[in-house]
Each structure stands twice: as structure tokens, then as C-alpha cells.
Chains A and B, each alone.
Chain A
Amino acid sequence: MIMQVDGVEFSYNGRHVLRNIKFSIAAGEFLAILGNNGAGKSTLIKCLNKILKPKRGTVLIDKENVFHLSRLDVARKIGYVAQRSEGGRVTVFDAVLLGRKPHIKWDVSANDLEIVQRVLALLDLEVLSLRYLDELSGGELQKVVIARALAQEPRVLLLDEPTSNLDLRNQLEVLQTVKTAAREHNLAAVVVMHDLNMALRFADKFLFLKNHTIFACGGLEIMTPENIAGVYGVPVTMATVQSIPVIVPLA
């Protein structure tokens, strides 16, 4: 197990946001975090890399407690893509190079440049490499931000709704890239998602949050109409279209 989360509890202004969170994820796995708006998905993902400090509980990465590591050491092991990203007056190459920041001592090395090139190629961003971020479309910017997290060469990749700004084609592309990266580089991906069908298609593991705690967590076997109806309060049915599983709301 790359990451083990145990007994995480987070409260904000005395109000519980997360209670008793416990799960683990192995190298190469893609975990989808699902649940209603306000269920605490973003909060959970921020607790995993110490952006937020939970009141109780531990997060172990490679058996080390995240909360005992410095922010820089955490950044060397965990990449994070925030829900909203900002594009300033820097080029795509610069933005991805920033992902090397946790590893750079004083100046950029040839190895850093090589890693950036590789990631740009992986995400088909090479043609954009000298374009400024504030000239990109939402989808392109999202890919750049993911490229930055991959350039960090993390053991675990945390993505907060990475496809929310993307069109259908880009959604498929980005999630496929994350999945391939997880497999090939043997890293774990933890992805907050809203689209159940996309989750079904790309994730190996699923975690449902409801009322600030885990409703269900496991493999495909927990993606049942009962569980989904239980979490979202919407009756659904599941079908298979051309061997692709789909979830259809009935309400």
C-alpha cells in the first residue's frame, strides 16, 4: 500500500466536515472519490497532502506520516491539482517546469528539462509549450496543470475534479492519461469526480462520501444501484452498452 489513511477527522469552526475516514490505496490504482456537493470530498483530498491539517488521524505515505514531513518532503511524494487553477503570464513550459520545484535545489538541471519535455509529449502539449497560460482554453489549461503534477514525479497524484471544465473528448483524454500514468509509473491516483459513468470507466476503486463519512469503499462490487441511490437519493439502474457499463438515473 502506498497510502494508508486511518481515523481522519476534520472540523471547521467546530463543525464536523469529516469523520472516521479510513481507506488505503496501492500503487497503480485509480481511486474515485464520489459523493454529493458539500460531502467533504475536496476537504478529504486536501487532508491527504497536509494542505489542511485534520484534528485526528494519520495519513501514511510509504509508511511515513504525512503530518510529520515538511511541506517540501510531502511535495516530493504527492502531486496535487486544485479544483480551480490560475494561469498567469508564464509559458506552458514554465508552468510545467514549476512541477520540478520540490526537486530543484538552486537552478534547473538538464534532467528537469528532460522530464518536462517527456510530460509535455505525454499530454500532447508540445505545440503549446511556448504559449502563455492566459491565452489557453480551459481544457488546455487543465491539461497543463495535470502535466505540472506529473512533472513532480509523485508517488500519489491527487486530483480535485480534473474534468469539470473539459469537453467530452478532453475528459476522456485526461482521465486516460491519468490512468496510464498510474499504471506505467506505478503511482496511485486519487480523483474527486462527479461523473459516475466516467468513474465507472476509469477507476479501479471507489469511495462514496455521505454525511461527512465513508458510506462505502471498495472495488466495482460497491457500484450498485442501491449504494448510488443511497448516496445521491436518486434511483438509478445500470446497464451495459457495447460492453461499457453505464448508470442511468430513473428520476
Chain B
Amino acid sequence: MRQVATAENSLAYLKYTRRKVLVIAFLVFLSFLLGLYAINAGSAELTSHQVLRTLLGKGEGRALIIIWNIRLPRVLAAFIAGVGLAVSGCVMQNILRNPLASPFTLGVSQGAAFGAALAIVALGAGSIQLTVADAVLINNPYLVTFFAFSGAMAATLVIIILAGQKGFSPEAMVLAGVALGSLFSAGTIILQYFASDVQVAAIVFWTFGDIGRASWRDLEIMALVIGTAFLYFMANRWNYNALDSGEETAKGLGVNVEKVRLAGMFIASLITATIVSFLGIIGFIGLVGPHLMRRLIGGDHRFLIPAAGVMGGFLLLAADTVGRTIIAPVVLPVGAITSFMGAPMFLYLLARGSSKR
């Protein structure tokens, strides 16, 4: 009798895990549909027929240029960046044992903004240009990207080195991140104070996250970094599960907690810094994606990491598509839209009690 009962038990468990895989597969399918819709939608009128032909490699003329140079890279960039932001948020929430954590907690966004401001003000990488699409032109995007990336990683590295040497607790790491964030914000304000109107405009413009900045080249770099990081996170999925049951339990299960924590922080920050330096600051995806999926399929990182990633990609693509179409031809910055979605989520989490994850 007992034998039969246990076999049923295991079967029920396998069914339960299969359901999670189905949820993820369904989300991937939804994202694919949304992607098709997003490529179709826009101020230049294209028929679905033209879109399909172009995607299948039979496009020509205007449709080919619009889809291949503008819409397809934009859709892919939104999805890939969303995946990156969500998986890094997911891992940060686990390793810092804090439901509100993300790489931004470590001052990544403030560091990136400071780096960008430095490039624009001190090195003259920004200027104004009057075109219909954008009022402000960053005339040396690579310089700005490089400085933003360096600023973001500087913030993270300071915390990782301090934490590694002084044995910081997760709480201390979060506090150090807040301190560094405000230091970099102050730096940005001082730079803006001495900057010209044009430069201030360029800084503010850069700060708004904007998916449209991504070129195919940027996309390749982002995909490579995020893909590699995703594999690293998946290889550590059991370690993250163990950490969820407490630091000492994790050690008892053979997890090198300090190493997993510092390496995870570094990699999560690295992908976020890459995304932010290419696209500007995009908040809340790293928070909303993982939390929604945690509610939907639970906290097992074998499934949560990919699920949060797909959800993040879906949400960012949705936000960008809304921003592009809601008052077309004006394109709203996606960073503002994600924050519109994210802020209520944040309040909801707080109202629910931040102790439970």
C-alpha cells in the first residue's frame, strides 16, 4: 500500500513541476505574439503581409528598412533587456535576502548616470540638434556608454570589495549601496550645476531609458552578456534555493555562501550595467518580473530564474510598445512607463508586508 502511495506522490510532484514548465512555455509564446504585434505597430503604416514577408527574408524597399533597421532591433532589445533586468533582480533578491533588492540597490543606476553626466559635461559628448524625432543628440554615444558602464561597475565594485574584506551582512551591503547611490547622485547634481543648458538637457535625456537607442551591434553585446550570465545563474540555481532556507542551512548543504553571494552580485550588476549603459535607466522590471512569477510558480530557482526572465522581457516589450503607440508619433520614454507600472507594485509589496517573499 505504502509503495503505491509514494509512487503517486512522486507523480503528483512531477505533474506539479511540469505545470511550471507549461507556464514558462506559455509566456514565451505570449511574448512571441507580442513581438509580432510590436513589429506591426508604429507610425509608419505597414501591412501585416509586408511585415511577415520581411521577417521571412522576402522584404523590400521601405518595409525592409523600417523593420530591419528600426522595429526588429527595438523589439529584440526590449525583450533581451527585460530578461536581463529581471533575472538580475531575481538573483539579487535571493542573495541579499531582501524582496526589494535589485542591482539598482547597489547604486548601479546612480553610478551609470554619474558616468554619463561626466562624459557629457567634462568630455563634451552631448549636444542639441533640432530634429523632429529627438531634440537632443548624444553625439558620441560610445563615450557615454563606456563612462556610464564604468560608473555603474565602480559603484558595485566598491561594495563587493568592502563586503568581501569586511564580511558585510546582506543588510550592510544594502545600506552601503544606498550610501554610494546618494554619493553618485550628489556628483551628478554638482556636474549639472556647472553644465550648460544643452548639457543638462542631454544628461536628463540620457537618464530616461529608451530602447530605441539600441543598434544591432549593441544588441549583440547585450545578448552575449545576458546569455552568459543566464547560464551562470542557472548553474547556481540549487545554491540559490539553499540560500532561501537560511544562510547556515545553505552552508550545511555545502554552499560556499560568501562566494556565491559576491559572484552573484558581480554578475547581476554586470548585466544591469551593460543594459543601462546602452539604454539608460529602466526601473522596476527587476522587481516586478521576479515577484509576479514567485507568486505564480513559487520560489524554486530552477523554474523561477527562466520564468522571471521571460516575464521581464514580456513586460519591457509591452511597456515599450505602449510608449511607442499610445500617443504616436510621440514616443514616451520606456523608463517612465515601467516606473508607472512598478510603483504600484512596490506599494503593494510594502502593504503586504516585506518580510514574506
Contacts and interface: CB of A to CB of B under 8 A. Distances in A.
B246 A91 contact: no
Contacts of B249: 80-82, 85-86, 145
Nearest to A113: B10
Contact of A74 (B254, B300, B356): B254
Contacts, number: 110
Given A89-B298, A113-B10, A104 B248 contact: no
A145 B357 CA distance: 19
Contact of A71 (B12, B13, B255, B295): B255
A152 interface: yes
A202 B254 CA distance: 29
Q: Is the interface of B mostly helix, strand, loop or mixed?
A: helix
B251 A117 contact: no
Contacts of A72: 254
B9 interface: yes
Contact of A126 (B9, B254, B300): B9
A98 B13 contact: no
B246 A85 contact: yes
A58 interface: no
Interface stretch (B138-146, B168-176, B237-245): B237-245
Interface string A84-102: 1111111101110011011
B83 to A, nearest CB: 22
Contact of B242 (A46, A79, A87, A101): A101
20 contacts: A49-B251, A51-B248, A51-B252, A70-B254, A71-B256, A82-B252, A86-B249, A88-B244, A88-B299, A89-B294, A90-B300, A94-B300, A98-B241, A101-B253, A101-B255, A120-B6, A126-B6, A126-B9, A132-B298, A145-B245
Given A85-B245, A85-B249, 17 more contacts: A46-B248, A50-B251, A70-B254, A73-B254, A79-B252, A86-B244, A89-B298, A98-B238, A98-B242, A101-B241, A101-B242, A102-B253, A116-B10, A117-B6, A121-B5, A121-B6, A129-B13
Question: 3 shortest A-B CB distances, which residue pairs?
Answer: A75-B254, A80-B252, A72-B254
